[in-house]
Structure 1
């Protein structure tokens, strides 16, 4: 797994004008290829009267799925530069749709490449991005008497508490970088006089 990746902070759009043509870039997070395709379809429906609705998306922390479409623009002048901009910015799990309303002035291949790639770059700046880092899910099991104090200590030491479940014992789910696991085990043993259980689970990504 990649140690980290970037994605858009939220769905959003940004519009720019190049030689009287309007270029509106809509961005959204996309956890799966299907989500990306559904977003493309929704934007195409909303802007069915546009000259073109070109798109690109990257799914997977390792960018394993990359697709793009020129939607009628000359080959390689729209979808590809959009995709290249996403990859240049290290964006993952993201979909971009650039809607063009033709303004009557031809831009040429170079102009189109700059316009479509630039529309994505400007939209990323306007909408904002966030970094998500790889961590290991871990669960701490502790008795009810120690649970409240331990949760406070976890938060005070910068450990993000992801979930707390109450049963016969209290189970606290946290996220830890792999490199921190040995030190955390020692800290936990000291904090709970060796009474807490500790299990390491799967890898996941979370906000940095």
Structure 2
């Protein structure tokens, strides 16, 4: 699993106008090439009367699937600049379709490159982009005398407590960044004189967006 990567949580639509040509950029999360192709076909059907429906997408843990299309624009003036924006933003599992409605004025090669790049940037600005981190949801069991020490430890290390159960003992589910997990577990053991039980519940990805913790199975 990647330790972290940027992707789309909620896609968006951005629009720019260049010399009366409208460029509509729609961004979407895609986890397979089949999803990307369905998205592109959907946009082509929706904007059947457009001059061009250009696209770019980046898919895979190593971004091994990278495709783009100029859809009739001069070669290299649309799809590649769109793809360059996605790659430059280091996005994973992301597709974008830019629909152009021609306004009657030719933009030239440089103008097209700038317009398609700006359109994708507008689409990304309208989207909710997140960074996913590899994490481990871990359950910590402790007697009541050790709760305060653990709460202090977690606060100092910015470890969120996702759930707490108070019974004969206390059980807390905490979200540990995978890269720091062993270090935090060692600190828990030391802080409680080895009285705490530590059980990994599952590996996952998490993100923090708008002050909210988001959990993902992939």
Tell me which interval the TM-score lies in, with the shorter structure as reference length. Answer: 0.7 to 0.9
Aligned-partner Cα distance in 1 for 2:33–2:149: 40
Displacement of 1:20: 1.3
Q: Measure, in 2, the Cα distance between the counterparts of 1:25 and 1:115.
A: 11
Partners of 1:36 and 1:201 lie apart in 2 by 33
In structure 2, how many angstroms separate the alpha carbons of the residues matched to 1:63 and 1:2? 12
The count of aligned residue pairs is 206
For 2:103 and 2:187, the matched residues in 1 are separated by 64
Structure 1, 120-129 or 6-15: larger mean CA deviation: 120-129
Quick one: structure 1 residues 47 and 151, their matched pair in 2 at CA, closer, same or farther if it must change by over 3 Å? farther
* Runs (5+) with no aligned partner, structure 1: none
Tell me the equivalent position of 1:142.
Answer: 141
Q: Does 1:103 align with 2:106?
A: no
Q: Is the 8 A contact 1:19 1:103 kept in 2?
A: yes
Shift of the 164–58 alpha-carbon distance from structure 1 to 2, 3 Å rule, reads farther
Give the whole-Å Cα distance in 2 for the aligned partners of 1:46 and 1:151: 55
- In the alignment, is residue 174 of structure 1 matched against residue 175 of structure 2? yes
Measured at CA, do residues 150 and 33 of structure 1 come closer, stay the same or move farther in structure 2, by a change above 3 Å? farther
How much does 1:151 deviate?
A: 8.9
Question: Does the Cα contact within 8 Å between 2:12 and 2:28 map onto a contact in 1?
Answer: yes
Question: Which position in structure 2 is the counterpart of 1:39?
Answer: 39
Whether the aligned pair in 2 keeps the contact of 1:161 and 1:175 (CA below 8 Å) is: no
Q: Pick closer, same or farther for the CA change 1:205–1:14 going to 2, 3 Å.
A: same
Paired with 2:102 and 2:206, the residues of 1 have a C-alpha distance of: 40
Deviation readout 1:145-194 (Å, 9 max, x if unpaired): 79x989966864532355789xxx9683633232x233312332255553
Q: CA deviation at 1:121?
A: 1.6
TM-score by structure 1 length? 0.78
Q: Which residues of 2 match residues 111-130 of structure 1 at below 5 A?
A: 111-130=111-130
- Structure 2 unaligned blocks of 5 or more: 209-218
1:30 equivalent to 2:36? Answer no
TM-score (norm 2): 0.75
Bigger shift: residues 48-57 or 197-206: 197-206
Provide the aligned C-alpha RMSD in A: 3.4
